[in-house]
Amino acid sequence: MTDAILDVDLLAFETGSSTQRRAVVDGVTRSLATGFVYTSHDVSDDLLDTAYDMLRQFFESSVEDKRTATVRGSSGQTGYTGLLVETAASSDKPDWKEMLNWSTPIVEGHPLKSRFPQAYPDQVLPETIVPGITEVLSRFHDTIADLQRRFLRVIAEGIGCHETFFDDMVKDGPTLTRAIRYPAMSELDTALGEGGEPGHVWAGAHADINLITALPRSTAPGLQVEVNGEWTDAVPPDDGVIINTGLMLERLTNGTIPSGWHRVVAAPGYEGERYSVVQFCHPRPWTVLAPLSTCCTPEHPQRYSAITADHALAEVLYEINLIEAARRVG
């Protein structure tokens, strides 16, 4: 068990010697005891710069313009989500953030789209507000999704599976990319008005529902990870990608890889805003999430029953306050 987030080299796993591959697998396995790991990557800086510039243009547009990208009934699976909506399952105070969500559509008539329409909504991006943003964000999404698929190969070897174990599971999965703007905390008083209750933060303590999450860049500190009951700042190396584990991976691995608990809070004295873009890697909705035999032993007996990925996601969307017709928090 480690209490440190380690830095690994995904490219060494893919192109290095067998010794280098084993070292990467070992490093990832040890680091994910915290639910987090940092990795090198080959995503171009130009793509990151362009995507972040366009997203800033969108978030700096008027509230009325941003609301034109809202998709009613989408449960945060595409389009714009406004301030003080999403709420950590551990809290009754909505997060102080606004979001733009998107994914790669699958073809009409695909059985996944017909059986799980909620997971595959028609995509809405603010093309009329920021011309060209659809092409850039689509390319960004596909690039990070490929990075996550490749990183899952390291995890697969670490849990005793073939490196391609997750490939089929995530093919055409409803992987979601989310751009998040966290406004300055000083703006919260104005937003809440007189009598507004304190206690809001950028993002309350939570674990993600999916397999793994990638965070390729943020514009300010704020992400904190819970390790051994204490909060520690997540500070990746320059140009490193943060990877954290979700509840679905925890269930599949029978808890041998825990989900990474985290929160986002403004540092003391920091008065600015924060931007980040995260991507949640999801299995296909009909995937049965049952503990793998490689992760169940007499010393570590099966802890979890089976549930489909679709049902697991539906429960969490309610808990985090994204089901419009059944808000957990008003």
pLDDT in tens, the chain (330 residues): 457 899 999 999 999 999 999 999 999 999 999 999 999 999 999 999 999 999 999 999 999 999 999 999 999 999 999 999 999 998 889 999 999 999 999 999 999 999 999 999 999 999 999 999 999 999 999 999 999 999 999 999 999 999 999 999 999 999 999 999 999 999 998 888 766 677 899 999 999 999 999 999 999 999 999 999 999 999 999 889 999 999 999 999 999 999 999 999 998 889 999 999 999 999 999 999 999 999 999 999 999 999 999 999 999 999 898 887 777 886
Q: What is the CB neighbour count within 10 angstroms for residue 3? A: 10
Q: Are 79 and 124 in contact (CB under 8 A)?
A: yes
The secondary structure of residue 321, as a DSSP letter, is: T
Of 267, 221, 262, which Cα lies nearest the Cα of 5? 262
Residue 175 three-state SS: coil
Q: Are 96 and 84 in contact (CB under 8 A)?
A: yes
**CB crowding 95-128: b at 16 or more within 10 Å, else e:** bbbbbbbbbbeeeeeeebbeebebbbbebbbbee
Residue 263 three-state SS: strand
Place of tokens 């697969």: 156
Q: What are the structural domains, with CATH classification, of the chain?
A: 37-326 (2.60.120.330)
